[in-house]
Amino acid sequence: MKRIVLATAFLMTPAFADVILVEDPVHGFWNHLEGLCGQAFEGNLITHPEGETDFVGKRLVMHVRDCHRDWIRIPFSVGEDRSRTWVITRDEGRIRLRHVHRHEDGSPDEISMYGGLASNRGQATVQYFPADEQTRQMIEAAFSNVWMIEIEPEQTFTYGLRRLGTPRVFQIDFDLSRPIDPPPPPWGWID
């Protein structure tokens, strides 16, 4: 019993206070996302693959619309196209990213639910998601995709994609300092 008391007293000294209070990066990242719940933000296309112009010149809006204890859904509108939703979940101590795509009538797109599980616990402000096997089976060329979400609280939410070994790089920065009115719900949204 004396050893436990001494160890507890030793760990409570000021020199160890920072070690005890270090926040788990998954928990910290989740807290940053939850802090955005209900808000919408406009984004700027920072870089895109040469020849791919689907997002060029269009209004880009993310809406942290639906927050639950274990998942957060973020619809992403490109102009009038409301087919995309990012679904972020907690999965065995890590974060998972999925991309849900729906047609205007609400039916699921053939290419949907792709993404990946963070390969480690990441940081409270950034998580990386290498493509998983489900993604590779669906989109063979995406086997080397790595998605990234970075949050600079009250400043920027960055969504990015890099296809390793290729020039395919994609990045959108959303301005967290200027919330906007939420867009209409994404196609096929069920509350």
Over residues 103-161, the pLDDT tens digits come to 999 999 999 999 999 999 999 999 999 999 999 999 999 999 999 999 999 999 999 99
How many Å apart are CA 147 and CA 170, to the nearest integer? Answer: 9
pLDDT value of residue 191: 65
pLDDT value of residue 48: 94
pLDDT tens track for 167-187: 999 999 999 999 999 999 999
How many Å apart are CA 55 and CA 3, to the nearest integer? Answer: 62
Q: Which two tokens stand for residue 134?
A: 């489900």
b/e string for 74-111 if b means 16 or more Cβ within 10 A? bbbbbeeebbbbbbbbbeeebbbbbbbbbeeeeeeeee
Model confidence at 92, in pLDDT bands (50, 70, 90)? confident
At 164, which CATH number? 2.40.128
Residue 27 has pLDDT above 90, yes or no: yes
> Using the 8-state DSSP alphabet, how is residue 180 labeled?
B
- CA 73 from chain centre, in angstroms, equals 9
How many Å apart are CA 170 and CA 175, to the nearest integer? Answer: 17
Q: Into how many domains does the chain fold?
A: 1
| Domain contains 184 | no
pLDDT value of residue 22: 59
Which tops the pLDDT comparison, 21 or 10? 21
List the single range of 2-16, 70-84, 143-157 with lowest mean pLDDT: 2-16
Percent of the chain residues topping a pLDDT of 70? 88
What is the overall mean pLDDT for the chain? 90
Indicate if the alpha-carbon torsion angle 146, 70, 17, 151 is positive or negative.
positive
| Domain contains 186 | no
* pLDDT, mean of residues 5-18: 45
| Domain contains 8 | no
Residue 88 has pLDDT above 80, yes or no: yes
Q: In which domain, by residue range, is 102 found?
A: 24-175
Q: What stretches of the chain show up as alpha helix (H) in DSSP?
A: 2-11, 14-21, 25-34, 133-138
pLDDT value of residue 147: 98
pTM summary value: 0.86
| Domain contains 69 | yes
Model confidence at 21, in pLDDT bands (50, 70, 90)? low
